[in-house]
Structure formats: C-alpha cells, structure tokens
Structure 1
Amino acid sequence: MDEGTAPAAAGQDIAQMSFEEALAALEAIVQQLERGDVPLDQSISLYERGEALRAACQQRLDAAQARIESIVTGADGRVSGTRPFDTEG
C-alpha cells in the first residue's frame, strides 16, 4: 500500500532535516499510526519520533514567527513603521 512512507527519513537526524522534510516524515508517521496495523512496540517508537518531529517543526515555526515584522499604526490609523513581531507595545 504505502511502500514509500518514511524510508529515508526514518533514521535521519531531525536536526539535519528541513522543515518540509520533518513535516513530511511526521505526516507519514501519523498515517502509519492511523492505519492501526503497526505492532505496539513499533507504534510507541513511531509516536516518540513523531513527537520529536512535531517539536522540531514547532520550534522552526516559532523562530520564523519571531522574524516576522508587524506593521505599526499611529493614532491616526496611518502606518508609522514596523517593529519586530515579538516586541510588545
């Protein structure tokens, strides 16, 4: 059926994966677990790897979000500049 799910990514170091590779590997794991035809021990290993992939993806998303600038408007509603996304004010 799904003979190509996560072959190369299964043992790949998560830190070396791009966001897209990590997300694809996570999706493959979710599909395997949802099928329900994986032995319990393998399911636990898959879940642990999936959690590590999820955390890595979330960390990269958080870092990207921190780099986004938001538009600052003045009291009159006009754009007055930009500021880093994570700056309060």
Structure 2
Amino acid sequence: MADKSVSEMTFEEAMTELEQVVGQLERGDVALDASITLYERGAALKKRCEDKLKEAEEKVAAITLDASGQPTGTTPVEAQ
C-alpha cells in the first residue's frame, strides 16, 4: 500500500497503513534510515486521517433539520 499517494487514500486506507507503520516502528527492527522514512510517512498518514475526520465533522455539522427534526439537506460549510 506504500505505493499509493497519501493524498489519494480514503480514511480507512490511511488508518490501516498508519497502524502498520506504528507497528513497524514499535518493533524497533527497522534500520535508522528506514525508520525516518516510515516516521515521515506516518506523519503524512496521521494528517490525512485528521483532515478526513475534520471533513466528516463539517459535513455532519452542516446538515440542516426541518421543523420536525428531519434532515432537509446539507448546507455548505462556507455558507454558515
């Protein structure tokens, strides 16, 4: 999965790979240069997960409700 660009990953893909990276780093059986590369990839994966979670939170927050409490659609976050 390391061949896929982090910016193209879904939240689930990024989280799965991040878990793998953390596991490799925790084992401590990776050479120093490889550890640095893994750490950099892990940092990018963490940011991707945070960004995707923020997007999801904003979408949920943008759902508007009608008088009966039913969703009527979404309002773009920028419009709030």
Question: Please, what TM-score do these two structures have when normalized by structure 1?
Answer: 0.67
**Which residue does 1:60 correspond to in 2?**
52
How far has the Cα of 1:80 moved from its partner? 7.3
Task: Report the alpha carbon displacement of residue 58 of structure 1 after superposing the two structures with TM.
Answer: 0.2
Question: Which residue of 1 is the match for residue 29 of structure 2?
Answer: 37
Higher helix share: 2
Q: Hey, what does 1:27 align to over in structure 2?
A: 19
| Percent identical | 44
Q: Given the two structures, how large is their TM-score scaled by the length of structure 2?
A: 0.74
CA distance in 1 between partners of 2:33 and 2:43 (Å)? 16
**Unaligned segments of structure 2, at least 5 residues:** 63-67
Task: Encode CA deviations 1:5-32: one digit per residue, 9 max, x unaligned.
Answer: xxxx112111111111110000000000
Number of positions where the alignment pairs a residue of Structure 1 with one of Structure 2: 70
Unmatched tracts of structure 1, length 5 or more: 1-8, 71-78
What secondary structure is seen at the aligned counterpart in 1 of 2:55?
helix
Q: Which amino acid aligns with 1:15?
A: S
Structure ID, larger Rg: 1
Aligned structure 1 segments of 4 or more residues deviating by more than 2 angstroms? 79-82
How large is the RMSD of aligned CA atoms in angstroms?
A: 2.4
